[in-house]
Structure 1
Amino acid sequence: MSFKGIVRELKEIKDGTGSTSKKGVEGKRWLSRNRSHIAPDVALFKPIQQGNWANLPPELLLDIIRRVEESESSWPARTVVVFCASVCKSWRDVTKEIVKTPEECGRLTFPISLKQPGPRDEPIQCFIKRDRSTSTYRLYFGLTPSEESDKLLLAAKKIRRATSTDFVVSLVADDFSRASNTYVGRLRSNFLGTKFTIYDCEPPNDAAVHHNSRSSRRFNTRQVSPRLPAYNYSVATISYELNVLRTRGPRRMNCVMSSIPVSSIQEGGTAPTPTSFPQCYDDKSSSLRISEGKDLALNFSSRKLSSSSLTPPLSGEPLVLKNKAPRWHEQLQCWCLNFKGRVTVASVKNFQLVANVYPSLNISAAEQEKVILQFGKIGKDIFTMDYRYPLTAFQAFSICLSSFDSKPACE
Structure 2
Amino acid sequence: MPAPYVINQPTTHNTEPFSFGSQVDLICPKLLHDTIMSPVPQGLKFMCRIVRKNEGVDKRMYPTYELTLEEPSRSSRVRLLRATKKKRSRGSYYAITSDMDHHPADYDRKATDENYGVLGKLRSNFLGTAFNVYSNGRNPFSGNAVTAVAEADGQSSGISNNSASNGGGEAGVKTAQDQKTKTEIKNPVRQELGAVIYNPNVLGLKGPRKMTILMNTMTAEGDMVERRPTQVKDTLIGRMTDRDMTDLLVLRNKSPQWNDDTNSFVLNFGGRVSLASVKNFQIVHDNDLDYIIMQFGKTSQDNFTMDCQYPMTPFQAFAFALTSFDAKLACE
Q: TM-score, normalised by structure 2?
A: 0.66
Of 74, 84, 107, which aligns to 1:157?
84
User: 2:135: which partner in 1?
Assistant: 200
The CA deviation at 1:166 is 0.2
> One-letter code of the match for 1:234?
E
Q: Say if 2:128 is the partner of 1:170.
A: no
Distance 1:152 1:227 in 2: 31
Q: Say if 2:50 is the partner of 1:128.
A: yes
The CA deviation at 1:80 is 2.8
> One-letter code of the match for 1:130?
R
Of 246, 249, 258, which aligns to 1:316?
246
Q: Does the aligned pair in 2 maintain the 1:234–1:297 contact within 8 Å?
A: no
Distance 2:44 2:90 in 1: 40
The CA deviation at 1:407 is 1.1
Q: Does the aligned pair in 2 maintain the 1:373–1:385 contact within 8 Å?
A: yes
Q: What does residue range 299-378 of structure 1 map to in structure 2 within 5 Å?
A: 299-301=234-236, 316-356=246-286, 365=287, 367-378=288-299
User: 1:186: which partner in 2?
Assistant: 121
> One-letter code of the match for 1:233?
Q
Distance 2:255 2:229 in 1: 42
User: 1:393: which partner in 2?
Assistant: 314
Q: Say if 2:201 is the partner of 1:239.
A: no
- Deviation track 1:292-313 (CA, whole Å, cap 9, x = no partner) reads xxxx989543678xxxxxxxxx
The CA deviation at 1:377 is 0.5
The CA deviation at 1:406 is 1.0
Distance 1:287 1:189 in 2: 17
Q: Say if 2:206 is the partner of 1:270.
A: no
- Deviation track 1:199-249 (CA, whole Å, cap 9, x = no partner) reads 11269xxxxxxxxx988759979xxx9997554333322111111363163
> One-letter code of the match for 2:78?
K
Distance 1:219 1:228 in 2: 17
For the residue of structure 1 that corresponds to 2:268, the secondary structure is: coil
RMSD (Å), alpha carbons: 3.8
Please identify the structure whose Cα radius of gyration is greater: 1
For the residue of structure 2 that corresponds to 1:79, the secondary structure is: helix
Q: Which runs of 5+ in 2 are unaligned?
A: 1-18, 149-178, 240-244
User: 1:22: which partner in 2?
Assistant: none
Q: Which runs of 5+ in 1 are unaligned?
A: 1-72, 87-95, 97-108, 204-212, 275-285, 289-295, 305-314, 357-364
Distance 1:381 1:188 in 2: 22
Distance 2:232 2:114 in 1: 16
Q: Does the aligned pair in 1 maintain the 2:202–2:330 contact within 8 Å?
A: yes
Q: Does the aligned pair in 2 maintain the 1:232–1:297 contact within 8 Å?
A: no
The CA deviation at 1:187 is 0.5
Distance 1:287 1:192 in 2: 23
The CA deviation at 1:350 is 0.2
Distance 1:350 1:166 in 2: 21
Of 212, 232, 236, which aligns to 1:254?
212
Q: Say if 2:318 is the partner of 1:383.
A: no
Distance 2:254 2:247 in 1: 21
Distance 1:316 1:226, change over 3 A: closer
For the residue of structure 1 that corresponds to 2:324, the secondary structure is: helix
> One-letter code of the match for 1:329?
N
Q: Does the aligned pair in 1 maintain the 2:133–2:193 contact within 8 Å?
A: yes
Distance 1:248 1:271, change over 3 A: same
For the residue of structure 1 that corresponds to 2:192, the secondary structure is: strand
Q: Does the aligned pair in 2 maintain the 1:75–1:151 contact within 8 Å?
A: no
User: 2:24: which partner in 1?
Assistant: 78
- Deviation track 1:292-346 (CA, whole Å, cap 9, x = no partner) reads xxxx989543678xxxxxxxxxx93310110111111222222111110000110
Q: Number of residues paired by the alignment? A: 260
Distance 2:65 2:260 in 1: 35
Q: Does the aligned pair in 2 maintain the 1:155–1:170 contact within 8 Å?
A: yes
The CA deviation at 1:408 is 2.8
